[in-house]
Amino acid sequence: MNKKIVVLSMGNLNLDIYVKADAIPRPDEAVDAYETYMGGGGSAANFSVAVARLGLGSRFLGSVGNDQFGNMLIKELESEGVDTRFIKRISHERTGTVIVIVGLDGSKRMIRYTGANLGLTPSDVINEVINGVSHIHVALGRTEIIESAKRAARSMGLTISIDGGTALAKKGLDVIRDVVNDVDVWFMNSFEARELGRSESVVRAAENIVGRVKVRELIVTLGSRGALLLKDGEVKYSDAFKVTPVDTTGAGDTFAAAYITATMLDLDPIDKLVFANAAASLKVTRRGARSSPRLNEVLDFLNSLGYAKLVGEVLIRFK
C-alpha cells in the first residue's frame, strides 16, 4: 500500500437503489423484479472507494443532505478508508438518489435526483482540501467545478483528470473546449466520444477531439470491447477480459480509478490499460456500484491470466 500518494475526487455522492428486471414497464403497467438492493453511489464517490481499495490514499469532496442517508453514505466511505473531512452537509436538500434499473445482461438505466449534490460549489475547492494531494479527479459534468479544480491543480503543480459523463458531452466541444483544455487525462465512453468527435468511428472521433483540445491522454472506454488510449498522436488499445456480467454500474468509475492508480505508479501506457481493464472486469461480475476489487484481487486475476510481469511491476512500485 502507498497511502502517501493521495488522490482527491470531486463530484457526486448518492444513494443508489437497484431494481433488477427484464423489462421496463409501460404507463400503468407493472413488471416483476428479480432482485432489489441498495448502496452508495455517485461516480466521484465510487472512484474514491476504488482508489482506496487499490492501495492509495483517497480523499473525497462533495455534498450530501443533513439526513439519515447522508450519515449512512459518509460512514460507508469512512469504513473504506476514504478521507471524508471535507464533505458538506446541506440542510435544505435531500441526499442525491439514483434509481438503477439493471437488466438481466448486467446493463443499466438510471433515473437521477441530484438533490444536495448541487451544494458543491467552486468556492469549496480550497487549499486546505488540496494540501497533501498528488492528483485531482473530477467526475462531474459541471464546468464551473472542473475549471476551479483545474486552476487549483495548476497552481499547486498537480495532475488532473476528468470524467464529465454524458452531461458534459452534450454541451458540445465548442462550449467545453476551454474548460477541458490542458487536462492530463480525460475519460469518456464510446457514446460520449462519438457525440463530441462527431463520428461513428470511435477512433476517428477521438482523433477529432484531440485535434481541437489539448489533452495529454484521452481514454475511451468501450464496455465489453475494452478501452483505447490516444496519446501523442498514437492510438493504443487493450481488450477487455472475458467475464459474465452481473451489474455494470460503476464499471467506468472503477476503470478510471485503476488507470489513475497505475498512472501514479508510473506504469507504461499499455500496462495502465490492462490493469484498469482487469479491475473493471472484476467489478462487473458483482452487483452494486461500490463492488470494485481490492489490489490483491486484481493482481491475482492478472497473475492467473499470465500477466506475472505486470503484477511484479505493480508490487515493486508499492514497496
Q: Give 241-292 pLDDT, tens digit per residue.
A: 999 998 888 999 999 999 999 999 999 999 999 999 999 999 999 988 899 9
Domain annotation covers residue 41: yes
Q: Give the CATH number for residue 128.
A: 3.40.1190.20
Q: For Cα atoms 156, 117, 17, give the angle at the middle one, nearest 5 degrees.
A: 125
Going by DSSP bridges, is the β-strand pair 96-102/159-162 parallel, antiparallel, or unpaired? unpaired
The residue range of the domain holding 87 is 2-23+33-318
Query: Which residue, 162, 8, 4, is CA-closest to 82?
Result: 8
89: burial class by Cβ within 10 Å (0-12, 13-18, 19+)? Answer: middle
Domain annotation covers residue 210: yes
Neighbour count for residue 319 (Cβ, 10 Å): 5
User: Would you state the pLDDT for residue 108?
Assistant: 83
Domain annotation covers residue 274: yes
Domain annotation covers residue 60: yes
User: Would you state the pLDDT for residue 1?
Assistant: 60
- Report the mean per-residue pLDDT for the chain: 94
pLDDT category of residue 37 using cuts at 50, 70 and 90: confident
Per-residue pLDDT for 218 more than 80? yes
Q: For Cα atoms 272, 275, 276, give the angle at the middle one, nearest 5 degrees.
A: 85
Domain annotation covers residue 248: yes
Domain annotation covers residue 95: yes
What mean pLDDT comes out for the span 56-63? 97
The tens digit of pLDDT for each residue in 41-53 reads 999 999 999 999 9
Domain annotation covers residue 28: no
What mean pLDDT comes out for the span 58-87? 97
User: Would you state the pLDDT for residue 4?
Assistant: 84
Domain count, the chain: 1
The tens digit of pLDDT for each residue in 166-217 reads 899 999 999 999 999 999 999 999 999 999 999 999 999 999 999 999 999 9
Report d(CA 102, CA 52) in Å as an integer.
26
Domain annotation covers residue 142: yes
